[in-house]
Chain A
Amino acid sequence: MSESNFKRFIEVGRVVLLRSGPHSGKIAVISEVIDHNRAIVDGPATGVPRQSYPFRHLTLTPFRLSKLPRGAGSGVVLKQLTSEGILEKWNKSAWATKRTAIEKRRSLNDFERFKTFVAKKGRRDVVRKSVKVAKKA
């Protein structure tokens, strides 16, 4: 039997991104699988209280607490999260940085949008000119 092509699984210790509800956009850890629809998630490091969450509102991340026992409490989850440095790893990931960038872009007001437009224009100008110089050489 060959190995599965899937890399991320629903499993105890899997770090997930919440996609709905008041804690939408935060990460948490699966500490217990309830059934084929729901799991208990816990995010003591991100302010997510221990609660049941449907899988359709979760997205799996590549991170995982490998040594988390089934049904661990918030204390244990927090300890393992800090010891494995999951939060730093997540914040450094391309996925998380892109998410924060998009969120920041969305929160800009009209004037700030205009200023980014001006800055982008300036950047394009520099790029265009240097490309022209490089082509000639």
Chain B
Amino acid sequence: MARSKTISPNVGRLSRSQVFAKRGLHKGQKKSEKPAASETPLTKEVQIGGEKNGSTRIVPTSKAPRYYPAEDVRKPKKSRKLIVPTKLRSSITPGTVLILLAGRFRGKRVVFLKQLESGLLLVTGPFRVNGVPLRRVNQAYVIATSTKIDFEGITIDEKINDAYFAKPVVKGRSSAEEEFFAEGKPKEKEPFSESKAADQKSVDKAIIAAIKEEEYLAKYLKATFGLTKGQYPHQLKF
């Protein structure tokens, strides 16, 4: 009824067929004929045992269900929404220096690597420069600067995707007690996985080399961003 405004509650201005015409769905309807489905006869003959039973009987091929719902069950509406991939801001290209605005690393300047399938941005500090690890961030919480590091010849391993950052799923039930304590004592922290540390290093290696090319760039990435008196972000050039 979105197309036909209501005259009074639940009464549309347009009739059902007028709404159909307005929606124009018939325009996109398929004209080609479907392949004819092989016809199965509605009934079939079945041999019946016993002398007085007439030897054969005609029965329906598919039995009618024995159960009918007393009331009509409404089918849930099928969603027609599409998943549209997130558009990357044009100012963000691989190698762009970004300023993080939220989260634990807010104020840090980081290097953008690539956009992941979920639309989140993959960034790295690099870790050795400013302590920001490989991380996913939403582009809404980021300022793109016009500074770019030379990203030529640098490729990011395909294995670093959204699944790479997913938490390991623990099957079965576990109490909160089990989660934090073992034998009455607080559990020791799990060490950071060595393979991930190696990934961080291998990704950062090329980027650190590119950063070293330009003077002050490493120092710049190490410094945090902040506003001083009389500075307004909308008036600044990044």
Q: Provide the main secondary structure of the chain A interface.
A: helix
- Chain B 204-238 interface mask (CB, 8 Å, partner A; 1/0): 00000000000011011001010000000001111
Asked if B220 and A111 sit within 8 Å, CB to CB, the answer is yes
B213: min CB distance to chain A, Å = 14
Q: Among the listed stretches A3-11, A46-54, A90-98, A102-110, which one makes contact with chain B, having 4 or more residues with CB under 8 Å of it?
A: A102-110
| Cβ contacts under 8 Å, B225 to chain A | 110
**Is B18 engaged at the interface, CB distance under 8 Å to the other chain?**
no
- What range describes how many residues of A lie at the interface? under 10
Pick from B216, B235, B237: contact of A114, CB under 8 Å:
B216
Answer whether A115 and B237 are a contact pair too, CB < 8 Å, given A109-B146, A110-B145: no
CA distance A110 to B233 in the complex (A): 11
CA distance A106 to B219 in the complex (A): 22
Q: Which of B2-43 contact A (CB under 8 A)?
A: none
Answer whether A114 and B238 are a contact pair too, CB < 8 Å, given A109-B145, A109-B147: no
Identify 9 residue pairs between A and B in the complex whose beta-carbon atoms are under 8 Å apart, listed by A's number: A107-B237, A109-B147, A109-B238, A110-B146, A110-B236, A114-B216, A114-B223, A118-B216, A118-B219
What residues of chain A have their CB less than 8 Å away from a CB belonging to chain B? 106-111, 114-115, 118
